[in-house]
Structure 1
Amino acid sequence: MKMLLSNLKIDVPNSIYNKDPQSSNLGKRIITGSINLIEEIGFESFTFKKLGSAIDSNESSIYRYFESKYKLLIYLTSWYWAWLEYKFVFEIHNIHDPELKLRKGIEVVTRTIKEDSNFSHIDEVKLNKIIINESSKSFLNKEVDQENKEGHFEIYKRLVKRLSDLILNVNNEYKASLSLASTIIESALHQHFLKEHLMSITNCNKTYSPTQFLLDLTLKTIRK
């Protein structure tokens, strides 16, 4: 667990930031404050000036860590996927039955998030809300191909590949494991959004979760 935790802390691509925010108290305050503020007012209304006021710091100090609020959003999404990967690897480690392992993997990437006390400067519940509402803005843009070359999405792609491997362990003849794995992860975000905001177009609710829906969909899709 300590090794995974160490890897998680250093696995956010350094091309995203100017200075590692985990290297100083101010950097951690920037991350904590940005999560609180983006969750409260949304990414469009979020600015470094507002963040500076919220954490009692100069706006210029924030730019020493991130060149733009967009790069900060990529950092937050990368940290989230790295944290989820750590949970994923840790929770499936001792499961040997392929279908049970896949079930647990799907549960980890689709369930309602609870706070993790191992990371005191990160509120994972609020960060999850940001991922649900804002994460698509980190890659739905004209720069996505260049940013992909720079490795900004490596953690997310690695998590998709891990889930894809679990699918293939259940049915190695299934031809679209990567497509299904990425669909599971993105659909979970979408269904969590719908059940909170557009309830009339989803069956997911307090008694039928996105996890249940996606488990059923996946297993019926890949069974021989």
Structure 2
Amino acid sequence: MDQLLSTIKIQVNDKIYVKDPETTTLGRKIIQQSLIIMDEIGFDNFTFKKLGESIGSNESSIYRYFENKHKLLVYFSSWYWSWIEYKMVFATANIVAPLDQLIKALELVTEKIEDDLNTPYMNEALLNKIIISEFTKTFLTKEVDEENKEGFFLIYKRVINRMVDMVVKINPEYPYPKSLISNIVEGALHQHFLKDHFKTITNCDENTSPTAFYTHLVQHVLSPKL
């Protein structure tokens, strides 16, 4: 699967950026260093000025790629969910049983992410940490409805709906497939955050992963006789 993924360009809505950062050396450097800085100081303290100083480039050159740091964060989010979708499609393609498909998909959206060496400019492990901490900031804005119409969150919603289809195949009578999956996908990020920062209010720890929790949940919700 890794070899297949290495030949695919991760798709991101071209309305999110001014110039595709993957097409130039500077653009890829912007991506690489932005991840490092956001991980170190957080999105709120991140600025294009700090990024420019870090990569030895004028702040104005960064604006040739992204209108603002919000669009950069949306770019990271879109890239992440597109990458997850590709992995999900390949990983579930040869699985026949819908429940087994769903469990594999759950693993991909809830597991701890390791860096994929097929994309040297994008450190997926750092990207995952940023998504865990900052993802809600991509849509908890006054502009969310307009950006949704522009398709900024299409890939994220597509990942959820792929899993919703699996739920419907497992149990067509289950009344809340969309609510279940959207809760799991975003909840998994939250559980990772709690595991690292608020250990007293989650059962997830070094021995019990969010993957184990959500696998147990769907098995008992959708197939209660298991």
State the TM-score, normalized to the length of structure 2.
0.95
Shift of 1:223: 2.1
Shift of 1:212: 0.6
Is the Cα contact below 8 Å between 1:8 and 1:83 reproduced in 2?
no
Offset from partner CA, 1:100-145 (integer Å, 9 cap, x none): 1111111111011111111110110111000000110000011100
Distance 2:4 2:203 in 1: 40
Q: 1:5 to 1:176 in 2, by over 3 A?
A: farther
Where structure 1 has 5 or more consecutive residues not aligned to the other structure, the ranges are none
What does 1:93-172 correspond to in 2, within 5 Å?
93-172=93-172
Partner of 2:80: 80
Counterpart residue identity of residue 190, structure 1: H
Counterpart residue identity of residue 33, structure 1: Q
Partner of 1:91: 91
RMSD of the TM alignment (CA)?
A: 1.4
Shift of 1:167: 1.1
Shift of 1:166: 1.2
Is the Cα contact below 8 Å between 2:6 and 2:119 reproduced in 1?
no
Is the Cα contact below 8 Å between 1:8 and 1:86 reproduced in 2?
no
Offset from partner CA, 1:8-50 (integer Å, 9 cap, x none): 42x2001100000011111000000100100010001100000
Q: 1:157 to 1:5 in 2, by over 3 A?
A: farther
Distance 2:112 2:9 in 1: 21
Counterpart residue identity of residue 29, structure 1: K
Distance 1:54 1:25 in 2: 15
Distance 1:43 1:3 in 2: 32
* More deviation, 172-181/202-211: 172-181
Offset from partner CA, 1:77-97 (integer Å, 9 cap, x none): 110011111111111111112
Q: Is 2:207 aligned against 1:207?
A: yes
Counterpart residue identity of residue 93, structure 2: H
* More deviation, 174-183/15-24: 174-183
Shift of 1:154: 0.5
Partner of 1:18: 18
Is the Cα contact below 8 Å between 2:17 and 2:71 reproduced in 1?
yes
Matched pairs, number: 223
Counterpart residue identity of residue 158, structure 1: R
Offset from partner CA, 1:143-169 (integer Å, 9 cap, x none): 100000000000001000111111112
Shift of 1:3: 7.2
Distance 1:8 1:98 in 2: 28
